[in-house]
C-alpha cells in the first residue's frame, strides 16, 4: 500500500486514527476495499473517496458486509487484526470477539495477535467489558501447549542487539515499581501503549529469543494491570499471549510465572480447582529450571491454591518449601523476581493460615511480616494489614481494638494506591466490621468509605 498520508491529517474518529496510523489516503483505501470486494465477494462495491471521508468524520457503513471488508483492509494495512467493533461499526460477526483467547504456534502470528489486542485496548477503554467474560476453560489449550512443547521455538536467531530486550525490561521494571507504590490505574495506558509500539517494532525484525522474553514479561505485567482494574477478560487474553511469547523464547522460568498468574486470576474469580491445576502446571513447567526466588514465588501461589481448596497438609508443605527456597536465595535470577523477599513469604503464610481458619497463627505471621516488608510495596502492605484485621476479628474472642488498628493502617497505606484488589479486600473487612456496630468501627467505616465506593463503582 502507498505511504501517502490521508487527505485530512486530523483524526476525529477511530477509523480516522487508524487510517492515519496506516498512512493511506482516502482514495487509495477506497480502491483497495473495492478490489477486496471483487476478489472475496465477487461484487462491484463502487466505493468512492468521498465515502471514506465520511467514515473519517464519524459516519458508519450501513451494510455490515462493507464494514467487514473495510476492517479487513485496515488489518492488512496495519499488519494486525482490526474488527469492525474497533472502528465503532457493526459487522457481520458482531459480538463474536475471541482475539487473544488462543495461542499461535508461529512467533510472527503471536506478535500479530498481540499488536491487535494492545491496539484495541488503547483505542477502546471499555474493551471487552460488555457481554464478554473471563472463561476459565480458555486457559486449557495454551497450558497444554506449554507443557507439551508444541509451540514453535525461535532457533537460529541473531544475538541480542543494543536496546531491544534490555530496554523493554528496564521500562517494565520502572512500571512495576510505580504499580507497587501507586497502583495501576494511572500507568496502565502508558504500559499498554509501550507494549503496542514495541510489539509492532518486533514484528518488522527477525525473531529473537531475548526480545520475545522481554515482551512476554511486559505482556504479563499488562495482564496484571488489567486484572487489578477488574478487566478480567482482557487480562486473560494478555496472559495467554504472554505465555506464547515465553514459550517461543523457551523461557521456562517466565512461563512458570505466567502460569501462576493465571492461577491467581482463576482463584480470584472463584475457580479454586482450575487455580490449583494451573499452579501445578507452573511447577511442572519450570520448577527445576528456576532460581531460588522464582521457586519461592511458585510455592507461594501453590500454597494459596491449596489453602483455597481446603488442603491443609498440602498447603503447609508448600509453605515450608517456600521458606526453604527463599532462605537459599542469593539474589541471582531474573529482575521480575527481585522484589520477592522474606516479607512476602511471611505474608503468604499469614494469608494461607487465615484461609485455613487458623486466625491466631495468621495474625502472628502478618505482624512479623509488617517488620520485613519494604515501605514501597504499598499494595502488598495494605492487603496484609487488612487480612491482619480480619484475623483479629475471626479469633476465638474477637479483638476489635487490634483489628481497628490494623484496619487504619490498611486504609492509610491504600490511600495512595489505585487497586481494585485492595478495594475488594477492604470491602471484605468492612463487611466483617459491620457485625460489630460500635462507635469505633463506624468511624473506621466512614474513613474507608471513599475506597469502598471506588470498588462499588468499578
The predicted pLDDT at position 10 comes to: 46
Which residue is associated with the grid cell 483492509?
73
Percentage of residues in the chain having pLDDT higher than 70? 92
Residue 454 has pLDDT above 80, yes or no: no
The mean pLDDT value of the chain amounts to 88
Residue 400 has pLDDT above 80, yes or no: yes
Is the domain spanning 346-458 CATH 1.10.3470? The answer is no
Burial (Cβ within 10 Å: 0-12, 13-18, ≥19) of residue 390: buried
Which residues, including other chains, have CB under 8 Å from residue 142's CB and lie 6 or more apart?
102, 103, 240, 243, 244
Residue 458 has pLDDT above 60, yes or no: no
Residue 378 has pLDDT above 60, yes or no: yes
Q: Hey, what CATH topology would domain 14-87 get?
A: 434 Repressor (Amino-terminal Domain) (1.10.260)
What confidence tens digit (pLDDT) does each residue in 418-433 have? Answer: 888 888 899 999 999 9
Which residue is associated with the grid cell 494492545?
118
Output the CA angle 354-177-128, nearest 5 degrees: 75
Q: What is the mean predicted confidence (pLDDT) over 428-457? A: 83
| Ramachandran category for residue 46: left, alpha or beta (phi over 0 → left; psi -120 to 50 → alpha) | left
CA distance 75 to 88: 15
Residue 386, number of CB atoms within 10 A of its CB: 29
Percentage of residues in the chain having pLDDT higher than 90? 57
Cβ atoms of 174 and 86 within 8 Å: the answer is: no
The predicted pLDDT at position 235 comes to: 95
What confidence tens digit (pLDDT) does each residue in 322-355 have? Answer: 999 999 988 888 989 988 999 999 999 999 999 9
Q: Where in the chain is the domain with CATH 1.25.40?
A: 346-458
Q: In the 8-state DSSP scheme, what is residue 269? A: T
Cβ atoms of 391 and 348 within 8 Å: the answer is: no
CA distance 234 to 83: 16
Which grid coordinates are listed for 444? 473506621
248-257, 278-287, 429-438: which range is least confident on average?
429-438
Q: Where in the chain is the domain with CATH 1.10.260?
A: 14-87
Closest CA to 333 of 264, 279, 252: 252
Amino acid at each position: 500500500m502507498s505511504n501517502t498520508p490521508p487527505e485530512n491529517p486530523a483524526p476525529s474518529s477511530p477509523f480516522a486514527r487508524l487510517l492515519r496510523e496506516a498512512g493511506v489516503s482516502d482514495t487509495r483505501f477506497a480502491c483497495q476495499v473495492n478490489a477486496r470486494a471483487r476478489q472475496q465477494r465477487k461484487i462491484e462495491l463502487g466505493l468512492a473517496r468521498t465515502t471514506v471521508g465520511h467514515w473519517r468524520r464519524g459516519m458508519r457503513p450501513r451494510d455490515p458486509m462493507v464494514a467487514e471488508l473495510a476492517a479487513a483492509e485496515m488489518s492488512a494495512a496495519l499488519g494486525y487484526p482490526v474488527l469492525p467493533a474497533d472502528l465503532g461499526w457493526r459487522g457481520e460477526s458482531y459480538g463474536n470477539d475471541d482475539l487473544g483467547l488462543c495461542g499461535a504456534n508461529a512467533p510472527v502470528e503471536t506478535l500479530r495477535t498481540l499488536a491487535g489486542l494492545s491496539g484495541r485496548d488503547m483505542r477502546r477503554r471499555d474493551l471487552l467489558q460488555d457481554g464478554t467474560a473471563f472463561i476459565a476453560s480458555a486457559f486449557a489449550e495454551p497450558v497444554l501447549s506449554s507443557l507439551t512443547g508444541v509451540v514453535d521455538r525461535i532457533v537460529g536467531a541473531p544475538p541480542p542487539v543494543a536496546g531491544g530486550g534490555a530496554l523493554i525490561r528496564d521500562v517494565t521494571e520502572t512500571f512495576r515499581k510505580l504499580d507497587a507504590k501507586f497502583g495501576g490505574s494511572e500507568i496502565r495506558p502508558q504500559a499498554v501503549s509501550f507494549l503496542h509500539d514495541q510489539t509492532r517494532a518486533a514484528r518488522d525484525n527477525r525473531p529473537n529469543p531475548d526480545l520475545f522474553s522481554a515482551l512476554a514479561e511486559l505482556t504479563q505485567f499488562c495482564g496484571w494491570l488489567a486484572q487489578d482494574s477488574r478487566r478480567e477478560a482482557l487480562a486473560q487474553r494478555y496472559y495467554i499471549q504472554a505465555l506464547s511469547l515465553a514459550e517461543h523464547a523457551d523461557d521456562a522460568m517466565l512461563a512458570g510465572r505466567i502460569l501462576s498468574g493465571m492461577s491467581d486470576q482463576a482463584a480470584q474469580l472463584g475457580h479454586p480447582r482450575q487455580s490449583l491445576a494451573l499452579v501445578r502446571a507452573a511447577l511442572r513447567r519450570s520448577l527445576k529450571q528456576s532460581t531460588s526466588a522464582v521457586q519461592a514465588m511458585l510455592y507461594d501461589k501453590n500454597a494459596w491454591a491449596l489453602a483455597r481448596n481446603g488442603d491443609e497438609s498440602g498447603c503447609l508443605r508448600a509453605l515450608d518449601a517456600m521458606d526453604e527456597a527463599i532462605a537459599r536465595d542469593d539474589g541471582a535470577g531474573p529482575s521480575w523476581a527481585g522484589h520477592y523477599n522474606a516479607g512476602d513469604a511471611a505474608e503468604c503464610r499469614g494469608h494461607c493460615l487465615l484461609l485455613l481458619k487458623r486466625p491466631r497463627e495468621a495474625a502472628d505471621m502478618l505482624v512479623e511480616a509488617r517488620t520485613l516488608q519494604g515501605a514501597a510495596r504499598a499494595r502488598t502492605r495494605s492487603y496484609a494489614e487488612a487480612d491482619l484485621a480480619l484475623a483479629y476479628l475471626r479469633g476465638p474472642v474477637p479483638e476489635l481494638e487490634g483489628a481497628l488498628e490494623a484496619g487504619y493502617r490498611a486504609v492509610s497505606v491504600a490511600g495512595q494506591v489505585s487497586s481494585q484488589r485492595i478495594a475488594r479486600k477492604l470491602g471484605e473487612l468492612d463487611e466483617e466490621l459491620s457485625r460489630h456496630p460500635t462507635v469505633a468501627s463506624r468511624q473506621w467505616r466512614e474513613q474507608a468509605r471513599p475506597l469502598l465506593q471506588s470498588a462499588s463503582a468499578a
